[in-house]
Every structure is written in C-alpha cells, then in structure tokens.
C-alpha cells in the first residue's frame, strides 16, 4: 500500500524557491514502490505567463536521459548481444579514430593514440577519457580552436572531440553516453528512439517521454530560462534543436515528472513495474554498485563555462555505478548509502533510495546548472521529503 505523507513541508520548499528567485519554476514528485506519495509545483511554465507549471509539464531532462540510454544498453547485454568489456570500436568503427588531447602547440591541438582501447563499460562509467566542454578546459579550448561543435546543436561533428586522458585512468564526465547510444543502435539494428520506445518507455507506460515532441506536446513544454540583467527570470527558448541529426543518449529526452517517476519506480522495484520487466534484478543491483574498477572519482569538478554551469562539489564518499552516481555513506536527514542519482544540465535531479524505499525527482528548466540557489533547493526538497517519510 502506498504510504501517506502530509506534503506541506515540501510545498513550502517549492514556494520559497519561487519567492526567493532561486528558480523560475519548479515541479517535484516522489514515490514508493507502490505509487506516488507526493507531487507539487510552483511558478509559471513560462516566466510571467501566469500559466502554472505542473508535474504534467514537459521538461528537457538533459542528462537524466543517460540512465534511460544506459538501461537500453544493459538490456542488450542481458540478451547476449552486447559485451560490456568489448572495445567500443568493435560496434562503432568511427570510435577507432578518437585520440587523446595532450595539450596545445600555440592554438594547434597535440593529439596521440590512447594507451588502451576504450570499452563499452567505460562509456557507461565515464572512464573512457571523453569529456564535456563545460567541465573541461581542454575540450572547451579544442572545440574553439578547431570549430568542432559541442553536443548541443545536434551535429554529428560533435563526435570528433578527443579524449582528455587514457581510458580507465579516471572518471571524466562527458559525451560517453552519446557514443553509447550509437553502440545500442548498432547492436539493435534500429535508431535509439525506437529502441527506447519499444523496450523502456512503451512497456512502462511512459507515453510522454520521447526525443521529439509531437505538436500537441510542444505546447506543454517549458523553455529554458535564465536571469536577465535586472535579476528576473525570462525564457531563452529551446536552446537545443527539435530536429537533431542524431538521437542523443546523453541528453536528448523530454519527459514529465509523472512519466519519469515510473522509470524511477521500476529501478526501485528491481527492474519491474506493473508487470513489465525492463531489467533483471541482478542487473539493477550492479547498476547501484561501484563499477569504476579502481578509477578515482573526483571530489570536485571545476566549471570551464560559468554561464552554463557552476562547479560540481561532491566531496568524498561518492562513486559511479551503471549510469548512476552512488553515495557510499548516508546523507544526514536524507538519502541512504547506496542511493543512485543523477541530474540534467537544465536543473533537473532524481534519486532512487532502495534502502528507504522511495524515489523522487525535482525539475526546472534554467541555466546555469547547479547554482548555489538551485543546489540549495535540491537539498531542502530532499530533507523535507525524508522528514515527512520518516514521520509516516
């Protein structure tokens, strides 16, 4: 039976975030194994419109796409069609051309061959050496010097970006899951949108989760917001194209809080929801376990592009599983050790706490990512949720 919580403390967190200007709008949802236990929202879908945002609003969930694409890859592994320890280039030959960026000679990048071949598992764990421009100065400089686009415009040339270290040597957050999406396509013999629809969102009844929104859903989408010089929030549009040349496993999905919580609940329940099984229990257990194979997890990732994101400060005690950030110790007043989580660049965040038996997510579409105000709202939401769950 779904537990009952009051929710008023969480409501205050959301309304305070709007009143304080921390975010332009916010929607949040939480569930246990049996169903939704909280949903709420505050602010306008489009700043100043007077139309309220809700848990049925469509958001760009950005890197919350990664766990969906990772699940698609793990499904291919379960079928015996994908070897996680195989070189990426054995599935996508283009990957054989990816080199390591060693530095620059003036404005000319210095590249070399990697010391080992990156594996599919290293894509899943962000240990292949591939980075993102916003958290790596070398990649940012490389893209500027060579005219290589980052992944946002949806141009295939983004895959020309190099590694910043040898595979397996450290955790570097980057375009790994975009490459993984291409691996899935090669193995499944169809495009990533079809794979996701047929094997994940379709079976789970997530009819509002998709790469390209139809016309009816376009009118329900929130644009990305940023603060103007006067400090007020305003729309800056879609930012990403609606018709990219490839479906991005790293950031391409739209979803609603009510839809994505079904995916979270499936993970919470060991890979099954309402009779539809998307992963085996043992695969889910592995996803929530340390999979870094000794590669160090950074305690801080400095920003290389402040208008896009702040620095990410984790501190000690974190690792990475299959598509999930894992905390190895209890968070006081919050998630328990072994919780799997991640976020999206436009300030969306989710976590799945299998020990407590709850999952939750919180959404806005705004930049920069993880500002102190947005980060504070995430924490306040989690603390308020756990306070009410533990009282119930």
**pLDDT tens digits along 190-245:** 999 999 999 999 999 999 999 999 998 999 999 999 999 999 999 999 999 989 99
Nearest to 371 by CA among 130, 14, 21: 21
pLDDT score of 102: 97
Quick: pLDDT tens for 327-340: 999 999 999 999 99
Give the pair of three-digit tokens for residue 105: 């000679």
* Domain locations in the chain as residue ranges: 8-67+191-391, 88-185
Q: 363, 256, 308: which is closest to 24 by C-alpha?
A: 363
Whether the predicted pLDDT of 390 surpasses 90: no
Residue 388: name the closest of 1, 38, 54 by CA: 38
Predicted local distance difference test score (pLDDT) of residue 104: 97
Q: What are the two backbone dihedrals, phi and then psi, of residue 232, each rounded to the nearest 5 degrees?
A: -100, 150
Q: Tens of pLDDT along 109-158?
A: 999 999 999 999 999 999 999 999 999 999 999 999 999 999 999 999 99
Enter the DSSP assignment of 90: G
Q: Rounded to two decimals, what is the model's pTM?
A: 0.97
| Rounded CA separation 4/39 (Å) | 12
With 80 as the cut, is the pLDDT of residue 392 above it?
A: no
Percentage, residues of the chain above pLDDT 90: 97
Q: What percent of the chain has pLDDT over 70?
A: 100
Which residues fall within 8 angstroms of residue 40, CB to CB, at 6 or more apart?
7, 10, 11, 14, 27, 28, 29, 55
The mean pLDDT of the chain is 97
Confidence of residue 4 (pLDDT cuts 50, 70, 90): confident
| pLDDT of the residue at 3 | 81
pLDDT at 108: 96
| Per-residue model confidence as pLDDT tens digits over 38-49 | 999 999 999 999
Does the pLDDT of residue 357 top 90, yes or no?
yes
* Residues 298-317 pLDDT 10s: 999 999 999 999 999 999 99
Catalytic residues: 63, 66, 173
**Phi/psi zone of residue 128: left (φ > 0), alpha (ψ -120 to 50 degrees), beta?**
alpha
**Backbone phi, psi, residue 235, to 5°:** -70, 140
**Fold topology of 8-67+191-391:** Beta-lactamase (3.40.710)
pLDDT digit string (tens) for 242-298? 899 999 999 999 999 999 999 999 999 999 999 999 999 999 999 999 999 999 999
């Amino acid at each position: 039976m779904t537990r009952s919580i009051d929710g008023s403390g969480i409501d205050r967190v959301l309304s305070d975030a709007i009143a304080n200007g921390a975010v332009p709008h916010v929607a949040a949802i939480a569930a246990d194994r049996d169903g939704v236990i909280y949903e709420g929202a505050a602010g306008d879908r489009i700043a100043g419109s007077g139309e309220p945002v809700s848990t049925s609003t469509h958001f760009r969930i950005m890197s919350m796409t990664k766990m969906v694409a990772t699940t698609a890859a793990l499904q291919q592994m379960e079928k015996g069609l994908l070897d996680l320890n195989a070189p990426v280039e054995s599935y996508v030959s283009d990957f054989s051309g990816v080199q390591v960026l060693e530095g620059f000679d003036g404005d000319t990048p210095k590249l070399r061959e990697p010391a080992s071949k990156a594996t599919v598992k290293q894509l899943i764990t962000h240990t292949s050496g591939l980075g993102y421009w916003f958290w790596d100065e070398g990649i940012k400089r490389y893209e500027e010097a060579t005219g290589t686009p980052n992944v946002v415009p949806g141009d295939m040339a983004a895959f020309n970006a190099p590694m910043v270290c040898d595979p397996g040597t450290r955790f570097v957050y980057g375009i790994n899951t975009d490459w993984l999406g291409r691996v899935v396509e090669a193995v499944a013999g169809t495009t990533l949108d079809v794979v996701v629809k047929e094997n994940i969102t379709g079976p789970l009844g997530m009819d509002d989760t998709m790469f390209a929104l139809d016309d009816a859903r376009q009118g329900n989408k929130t644009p990305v917001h940023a603060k103007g010089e006067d400090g007020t929030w305003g729309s800056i549009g879609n930012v990403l194209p609606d018709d990219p040349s490839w479906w991005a496993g790293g950031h391409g999905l739209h979803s609603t809080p009510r839809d994505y919580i079904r995916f979270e609940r499936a993970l919470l329940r060991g890979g099954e929801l309402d009779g539809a099984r998307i992963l085996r229990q043992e695969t889910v257990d592995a996803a929530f376990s340390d999979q870094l194979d000794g590669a160090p997890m950074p305690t801080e990732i400095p920003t290389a592009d402040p208008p896009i994101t702040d620095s990410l400060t984790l501190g000690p005690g974190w690792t990475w599983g299959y598509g999930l950030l894992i905390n190895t110790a209890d968070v006081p007043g919050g998630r328990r050790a072994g919780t799997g989580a991640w976020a999206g660049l436009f300030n969306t965040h989710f976590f799945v706490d299998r020990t407590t038996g709850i999952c939750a997510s919180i959404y806005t579409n705004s930049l920069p990512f993880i500002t102190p105000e947005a980060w504070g709202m995430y924490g306040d939401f989690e603390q308020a949720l756990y306070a009410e769950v533990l009282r119930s």
